Structure 1
Amino acid sequence: MDRLKLMALDEEDLSVVSAYLQDAVFKVGDMSWKGQGGVLTVELNRFVWEAGDKRRDRNKDWERLRTVLAVKRATGVKSRGFDRSKPDEVLSLLAVRFQAGDEEPAGTLELVLSGEASILLDVECIEVQLTDVSGSWGTDFKPRHPLT
């Protein structure tokens, strides 16, 4: 399987990145904020939705792999619904959204997490990069969500 390297510069691009990141998991300690450079980096284990029947590990039903999400041109970051002082707490990413501000292209980029948690970034514009950094490994579990 080829490793992904995606760049989002508008809301349409961001929806593609969001789809690939749905149900990715990471620990609080896997986040890094560089305020001076305006970059939030998150190392995640993403579910390989695109593998389908082309998975490498035929003994497992599904796959995950390590990927890095970089949100650039951020001027501030806030979090809610989890304790940043607990580096081993595991978070599950559901979606990445953008809300335009009063002065476009600036706005708020939201990493929507399970349990009503989120990470909110004030950004000058959408500039998001997703890069796979490892091969995949098998997992027995496919994420499921209750229908509402």
Structure 2
Amino acid sequence: MTNTDLYQTLMNLQCELVAERNLVNPEQITWLQYDILSILQEHASKPTALSKSLGITQAKLSKSFTQLRKLGYIKQTPDIHDHRVAVTEITSGGRTFMNDIAQKHHDLYTQAQKIWSKKEQEQFISAADKLITVLREERLNSEQ
């Protein structure tokens, strides 16, 4: 194995995972929008709580809401206690979208289980976790 083999394999894996994501995400929602929908699957939320939970500004959240509303994935209604504040919740269309993504994740998992032995799965998990940890730490350190 050469350095070129590792480089090429990492690039091919990244391309394949992006292609898989594009199959289930034809509207091209962002990771942030996905995170918003993920939180809203658990419970409706006010914008201030969502922006705090996601660590983003309300302006950035509002921009994501616009696209998610256009797609019909969220709806906003006035809070019953304070009509100046909107409560955001996921719609049935948003739930369907998230369920489709979850199914695609499961399909990928099933494929990996079929082609890799238990030992290969353990090796992949160990190697991927090492790389994920380094990438995440570098990204977090660069944001500070």
Q: Shorter-chain TM-score category? A: under 0.3
Who wins on radius of gyration, i.e. which is larger? 2
TM-score, structure 2 length as denominator?
0.22
Greater per-residue strand proportion = 1
Greater per-residue helix proportion = 2
